[in-house]
């Protein structure tokens, strides 16, 4: 507990890490572009006045994809060491789903 | 932990947020906390869905009559972009480039303030129309859901600003790096929630 | 803070406890506060039973009766059972996993003070115009109509103490995930640690819905919102859902740690490895998962429709399966063991049939058509007291005896302990067994009195006698504690002689840094393994003696909680037109809280080190 693990990287390691970080950052920008794109499509398809039965599932799917992109890229789930974070977030999502399902079906109208 | 250790980009660990036990605990604890927050927002969403468009007999307000999508769309864009800028900030944090990190956080804060301004304008507009928190169950649930998100935005902004001020003189160390990291996670989470608010409250509100 | 501080004055000791971040001292705080609330709730229970002892009684008025039952339930669940479990979790779990500390010592203390101030706030309602009176479930239509400030005390008080509980839960989760000693794999964790883990996860997911529900309640009552007001489009059923989405997991938050405590006790005093360890772990996780899928079994008679009722009925019955697994595992642990009937073991032996009885009535209620008969009758009261008293309270009493030497380095008197058990156990069954029949005969719950000659008189009288027997049991336990404290005989390490897990391997009294050297865990029941191999020290070490990092004490958690306590008064009286002081009080309270938080975040708190030399000079567990 008293010892913090800080080991200095060698020059090669450092350069390698830097390169990977740069690539990763470029990746993030791509992900961002995708998210903007999805948001725009969702927005446009509602504005265009298409059938709700088509649009509703579509935009929900887009929202889910966007959230996955945030979590896996912006919040680094795609890197290792996030098992527990994923476990708790997926459990939360599952409970959230059950609750919302209940509230739109058996809230007693 | 020794705050006086001076780091170079090379001696700076690749994952500074997890380099100390405190950092590890904080990161994990914060993720777990976000799990709880997820359920909290789910409860608010569920209630909103149950109460949307419900009010006293003959209520004139509905999601269709109230919401203006272009405004919500611009707000979404602002928040999404601020999410990216905070990714940039963390990128520079990992490279031990303190100045660039602070600058990107400042950009994030500006974008967040823009979002907040628009939200306040929107609320003000609705209240002006007579659609208030106490007017109907719809009003109560709408303002509680979107307002709780807005409160999170305020907290996130305050957190970023405090961090920037507190550390402006002393730069990055292994004590404050996890704090920056958590603030940025929080910010992403706020964006995640907004994606659903945009979709479920605004887009689907206008749909049928 | 130095290890050499030996005898302290009274004031210094108080200050030490007000600022402590040591999980062992926080355990003591939880124990004291939890016991205080347990006694208050117990007195309320006695008042209920005295009122119901005979028909047409007027010992208390109808209105006061409603306040008493509400406060009894709320106090027992939120302010007695949970904190007392937290006491044992704090005392044992970090030691069981070989940790020097919890993950967030500061938050640990914050969690305690929030709970305490929330509980005090709730109980002050008695003196400030009336306690809440809509039942511990506080169903919205009823609670919105309640004229006094009681419900506001309920909502705000639970909000504050609930925040404390959530913080405590997160702390335990991270502690168990990150702070385990080398070799302490998940599948080597003692069952009490496992159940603490799962219960904490349930806290994490169950408390947010309660928080939100309470906010809705506060908004509706104090700020004219319309969540539950059907005239303005609201829906009173939303409260019921939110409350039970929280409420059912809550009963498992309570009972899982109780299961864990008994698992330790059975293994220890049967002097045998816990039978079916991995199936126990699996059952714990499964119960935690299913616990979220069954909440509507409290709402069968609301009219959710046959489909919903059927789904929730089946899900509820499914929980009986993992629970049954556990019961058989306990039985098979005892089977063929070298049994020593100590007081904790005696409680364990009493627990199995009692809890099974409660589970069986639970399955009965789970069948929706039958529940139309049972709902809101004394049968329900019998059911949940069988699981709560027969499960949780027996576990708490067992743990008090079992862990007393760990927490205080003294043994409670065994003979007196067994006498306590007899009084409490007989009293418990006498009180509640007969209530099943009262329920079947049609006596509704939550009534302040009843007409005579319906065949209920004698049974109610017997039930009241039982309650007095239980009270005698509790008093004997308190006497036992006092006698033991006066005698002050040190118990020493491994006082039961049969300890199996790491907490018993530590010298007594436990050093404030817990483990001088981090232990190396070589299997399930580590301490037992070392003992069997003749290791006198009881531990294999994972590292040489070196500096130990310790957190600093802090008064800030107290201040943060105190600020919220003050602010709650401001919020509560804000609705009254004649109380202009309420707004300044609200602002002042929030200012105290936020300033304390800002101080906390601006001042670096890096802790301090105990140096190697200092550790070398120390002999074992001296303070
Ligand atoms: C394990 C510990 C358990 C605890 C602490 C517990 C607690 C409770 C409580 C407090 C209530 C009363 C709620 C109220 O109306 O105010 C209740 C009701 C109920 N319990 Fe349990 N219970 C437990 C186990 C079970 C089990 C194992 C089952 C079924 C397999 C079960 C099924 C039910 C049902 C169906 C009700 C609703 C009865 C009604 O209100 O009509 N419980 N339980
Ligand atoms: Cu239940």
pLDDT in tens, B3-58: 777 888 888 888 888 888 889 999 999 999 999 999 999 999 999 999 999 999 88
pLDDT at C175: 96
Residue C334 in tokens: 């005892």
Position C5 scores a pLDDT of 47
Which chain C residue shows the shortest CA-CA distance from B141? C227
Three-state SS at A6:
coil
Residue C413 above 50 pLDDT? yes
Domain that residue B190 falls in: 18-52+62-207
CATH number at residue B130: 1.20.120.80
Looking at chain C, the whole-number percentage of residues with pLDDT higher than 70 is 98
pLDDT of residue B2: 67
Phi-psi group of B67: left, alpha or beta (phi > 0 → left; psi -120 to 50 → alpha; rest → beta): beta
Structure tokens at C270: 């049967």
DSSP secondary structure, C194-208, as one string: HHHHHHHHHHHHHHH
pLDDT at C446: 94
pLDDT at residue C621 in the model: 42
Q: What's the confidence (pLDDT) of residue C608?
A: 86
CA C11 to the chain's CA centroid: 29
Q: Which helix (H) or strand (E) holds C541?
A: strand C540-541
Residue C384 Cβ contacting ligand 1 at under 6 Å: yes
Among C33-47, C65-79, C155-169, C524-538, the range scoring the smallest mean pLDDT is C524-538
Burial C469-505 (b: 16+ CB within 10 A, else e): bbbbbbebbeebbeebeeeeeebebbbbebbbbbbbb
pLDDT above 60 for A4: no
Interface test with A, best of B18, B25, B34, B46 (most A CBs within 10 A): B46
Question: Ligand 1: which atom is nearest the Cα of residue C391?
Answer: 2
**Is the distance from the beta carbon of residue C261 to the nearest atom of ligand 1 less than 6 Å?**
no
pLDDT at C7: 61
Among C295, C214, C194, which residue's Cα sits nearest to residue C250? C295
Say yes or no for a CB contact (<8 Å) between C292 and A108: no
Residue C97, ligand 1, Cβ within 6 A: no
Long-range contact set of residues C141-146: C-beta below 8 Å, sequence gap at least 24: C141/C228, C141/C236, C143/C217, C143/C221, C144/C220, C144/C221, C144/C228, C144/C229
pLDDT for position B1: 60
Q: Is the pLDDT of residue C107 over 50?
A: yes
**Which of B101-110, C273-282, C509-518 has the least mean pLDDT?**
C509-518
Kindly state the average pLDDT of the residues C461-467.
Answer: 96
What pLDDT tens digit does each residue of chain B (208 aa) get?
A: 667 778 888 888 888 888 888 899 999 999 999 999 999 999 999 999 999 999 998 888 999 899 999 999 999 999 999 999 999 999 999 888 999 999 999 999 999 999 999 999 999 999 999 999 999 999 999 999 999 999 999 999 999 999 999 999 888 888 889 999 999 999 999 999 999 999 999 999 998 6
pLDDT of residue B161: 95
Q: Reply yes or no on whether the pLDDT at A3 is more than 50.
A: no
Partnered with residue C519 across adjacent β-strands are: C541
Q: Tell me if chain A has a CB within 8 Å of the CB of C320.
A: no
Q: How far is the CA of C158 from the centre of ligand 2 (A)?
A: 20
Question: Does residue C301 have a pLDDT over 70?
Answer: yes
pLDDT score, position A2: 40
CA of C293: which chain A residue's CA is closest? Answer: A98
pLDDT bracket for residue C508 (50, 70, 90): confident
Over residues C510-533, mean pLDDT: 90
CB C102 within 8 A of CB C179: yes
Is the separation of the CB atoms in B9 and B97 below 8 Å? yes
- Nearest residue CA, atom 41 of ligand 1? C375
The token duo for C12 is 């210094």
Q: Does A109 score more than 70 pLDDT?
A: no
pLDDT of residue C548: 87
**How many domains, chain B?**
1
The span from the CA of B192 to the CA of B156, in Å, is 14
Nearest CA to C295 out of C213, C218, C410, C377 is that of C213
Question: What's the pTM?
Answer: 0.94
Set out the domains of chain C in order of their start, with CATH numbers: 10-554+605-616 (1.20.210.10)
**How would you class A51 by CB atoms within 10 Å of its CB: exposed for 0-12, middle for 13-18, buried for 19 or more?**
exposed
Q: Determine, yes or no, domain membership for B174.
A: yes
Classify residue B13: in a domain, yes or no: no
The C-alpha atoms of residue C321 and residue C286 are separated, in whole angstroms, by 10
CA C267 to chain CA centroid, Å, is 22
Between C23 and A109, name the one with better pLDDT: C23
Is there a domain that residue B168 lies in? yes
Q: What is the CA radius of gyration of chain C?
A: 24
The residues that bridge with C541 in the sheet, in sequence order, are C519
Residue to mutate (ligand 1; options C304, C321, C354, C362; most atoms within 8 A of CB):
C362
At residue C355 the predicted structure's pLDDT band, cuts being 50, 70 and 90, is very high
The two structure tokens encoding residue C510: 């436990």
Q: What is the pLDDT of residue C486?
A: 93
Instruction: List, for residues A31-71, the tens digit of each pLDDT value.
Output: 999 999 999 999 999 988 888 899 999 999 999 999 999 99
> How many angstroms separate the Cα of C243 from the Cα of each of A104, B141, B186?
17, 17, 28
d(Cα A98, Cα B45) in Å, to the nearest integer? 12
* Residue C608, beta-bridge partner list: C550
Residue of B nearest to C607 (CA): B1
């Amino acid at each position: 507990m008293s010892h913090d693990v800080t080991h200095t990287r060698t020059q090669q390691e450092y350069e390698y890490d830097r390169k990977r970080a740069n690539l990763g950052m470029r990746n993030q920008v791509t992900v961002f572009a995708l998210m903007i794109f999805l948001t725009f499509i969702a927005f446009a398809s509602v504005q265009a006045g298409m059938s709700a039965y088509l649009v509703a599932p579509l935009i929900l799917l887009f929202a889910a994809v966007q959230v996955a992109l945030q979590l896996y890229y912006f919040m680094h789930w795609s890197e290792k060491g996030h098992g527990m974070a994923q476990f708790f977030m997926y459990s939360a999502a599952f409970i959230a789903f059950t609750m919302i399902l209940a509230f739109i079906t058996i809230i007693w109208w | 932990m020794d705050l006086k250790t001076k780091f170079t980009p090379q001696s700076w660990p690749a994952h500074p947020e997890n380099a100390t036990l405190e950092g590890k605990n904080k990161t994990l604890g914060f993720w777990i906390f976000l799990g709880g927050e997820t359920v909290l927002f789910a409860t608010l969403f569920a209630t909103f869905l149950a109460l949307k468009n419900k009010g006293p007999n003959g209520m004139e307000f509905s999601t269709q009559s109230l919401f203006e999508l272009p405004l919500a769309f611009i707000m979404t864009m602002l928040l999404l972009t601020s999410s990216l800028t905070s990714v940039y900030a963390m990128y520079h944090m990992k490279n031990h480039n303190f100045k660039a990190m602070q600058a990107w956080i400042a950009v994030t804060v500006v974008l967040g303030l823009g979002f907040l301004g628009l939200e306040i304008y929107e609320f003000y507009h609705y209240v002006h129309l007579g659609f208030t928190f106490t007017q109907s169950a719809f009003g109560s649930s709408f303002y509680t859901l979107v307002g709780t998100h807005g409160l999170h935005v305020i907290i996130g902004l305050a957190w970023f600003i405090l961090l920037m001020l507190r550390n402006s003189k002393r730069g990055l160390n292994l004590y404050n790096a996890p704090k920056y990291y958590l603030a940025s996670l929080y910010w992403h989470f706020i964006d995640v929630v907004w994606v659903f608010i945009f979709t479920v409250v605004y887009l689907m509100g206008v749909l049928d | 803070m130095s290890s050499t501080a030996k005898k302290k004055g009274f004031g210094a000791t108080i200050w030490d406890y007000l600022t402590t971040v040591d999980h062992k001292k926080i355990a003591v705080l939880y124990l004291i506060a939890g016991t205080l609330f347990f006694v208050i709730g117990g007195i309320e229970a006695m008042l209920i039973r005295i009122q119901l002892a005979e028909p047409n009684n007027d010992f208390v008025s109808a209105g006061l009766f409603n306040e008493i039952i509400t406060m009894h339930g709320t106090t027992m669940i939120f302010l007695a059972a949970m904190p007392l479990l937290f006491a044992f979790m704090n005392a044992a779990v970090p030691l069981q996993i070989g940790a020097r500390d919890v993950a967030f010592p500061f938050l640990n203390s914050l969690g305690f003070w929030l709970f305490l101030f929330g509980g005090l706030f709730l109980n002050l309602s008695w003196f400030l115009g009336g306690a809440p009176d809509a039942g511990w479930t506080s169903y919205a239509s009823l609670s919105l109509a309640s004229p006094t400030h009681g419900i506001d005390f309920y909502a705000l008080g639970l909000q504050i103490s609930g925040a404390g509980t959530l913080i405590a839960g997160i702390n335990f989760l991270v502690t168990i995930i990150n702070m385990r000693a080398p070799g302490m794999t998940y599948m080597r964790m003692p069952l009490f640690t496992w159940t603490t883990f799962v219960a904490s996860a349930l806290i994490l997911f169950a408390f947010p819905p309660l928080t939100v529900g309470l906010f809705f309640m506060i908004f509706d009552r104090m700020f004219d919102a319309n969540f539950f007001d059907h005239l303005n489009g609201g829906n009173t059923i939303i409260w019921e859902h939110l409350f039970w989405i929280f409420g059912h997991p809550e009963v498992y938050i309570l009972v899982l740690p109780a299961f864990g405590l008994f698992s330790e006790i059975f293994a220890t005093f049967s002097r045998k490895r816990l039978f079916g360890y991995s199936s126990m772990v699996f059952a714990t996780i499964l119960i935690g998962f299913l616990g979220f899928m069954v909440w509507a079994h409290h709402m069968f008679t609301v009219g959710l429709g046959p489909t919903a009722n059927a789904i929730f009925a089946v899900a509820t019955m499914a929980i009986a399966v993992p629970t049954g697994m556990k019961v058989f595992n306990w039985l098979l642990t005892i089977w063929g063991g070298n049994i020593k009937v100590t007081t904790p073991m005696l409680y364990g032996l009493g627990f199995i049939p009692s809890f099974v009885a409660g589970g069986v009535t639970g399955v009965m209620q789970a069948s929706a058509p039958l529940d139309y008969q049972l709902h809101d009758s004394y049968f329900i009261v019998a059911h949940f007291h069988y699981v709560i008293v027969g499960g949780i309270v027996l576990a708490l009493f067992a743990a008090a005896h079992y862990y007393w030497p760990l927490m205080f380095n003294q043994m409670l008197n065994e003979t007196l302990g067994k006498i306590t058990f007899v009084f409490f156990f007989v009293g418990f069954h006498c009180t509640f067994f007969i209530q099943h029949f009262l329920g079947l005969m049609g006596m509704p719950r939550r009534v302040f009195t009843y007409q005579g000659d319906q065949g209920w008189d004698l049974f109610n009288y017997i039930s009241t006698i039982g309650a007095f027997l239980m009270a005698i049991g509790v008093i004997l336990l308190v006497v036992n504690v006092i006698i033991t404290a006066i005698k002050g005989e040190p118990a020493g390490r491994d006082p039961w002689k049969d300890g199996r897990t790491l907490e018993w391997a530590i010298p007594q009294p436990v050093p404030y840094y817990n483990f001088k050297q981090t232990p190396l865990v070589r299997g399930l029941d580590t301490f037992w393994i070392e003992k069997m191999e003749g290791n006198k020290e009881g531990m294999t070490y994972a590292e040489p003696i070196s500096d130990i990092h310790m957190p600093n004490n802090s008064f800030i958690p107290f201040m943060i909680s105190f600020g919220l306590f003050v602010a709650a008064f401001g919020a509560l009286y804000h609705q009254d037109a004649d109380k202009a002081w309420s707004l300044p009080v609200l602002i002042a309270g929030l200012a105290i809280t936020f300033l304390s938080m800002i101080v906390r975040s601006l001042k670096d708190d890096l802790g301090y080190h105990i140096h190697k030399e200092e550790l070398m000079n120390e002999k074992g567990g001296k303070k």
